[in-house]
Amino acid sequence: MKSSDCVYDYAKSIWEESAIDLMESAYCLFLDRRNAVIGWLRVASGGLDGTLVDQRLIFATALKCAARYIILMHNHPSGNLKASSSDISLTRKIKESGELLDIPLIDHLIITSEDYYSFANEGYL
């Protein structure tokens, strides 16, 4: 996972194609020291316009698989790529938790069937 384009391509390969524009979900990628994916987990599945991500589940899994880095991804079924205040708050919380555990959050992507928004590319991480 050398770029946000690679992450987006990977996300599209694991997301249910019929659900990406229907309901909001969140996935987490777990990476090794070389930024290779060692696993992924759907960490939330919600309704038409929201879902609840439990960061404890993310970090419990990251610790179990000895992940060096994590990448969070969630979709916006509306097609709107603008990060909400909830998206920004979640990113900040996971980033801070990752720093404490030495498992950095290296990106958070908001995806749609057509495009994506990268928090790292926009300078939030």
Query: Quick check: helix, strand or coil at residue 117?
Result: strand
Helices (H), 15-103: 55-64, 85-101
What pLDDT, in 10s, does the model give residues 32-55?
A: 999 999 999 999 887 666 678 899
- Set out the domains of the chain in order of their start, with CATH numbers: 18-113 (3.40.140.10)
Alpha carbons 24 and 22: distance in angstroms, whole number: 7
What's the chain's average pLDDT?
A: 92
What Rg, from alpha-carbon coordinates, does the chain have? 13
The predicted model scores a pTM of: 0.91
What pLDDT, in 10s, does the model give residues 14-36?
A: 888 777 888 889 999 999 999 99
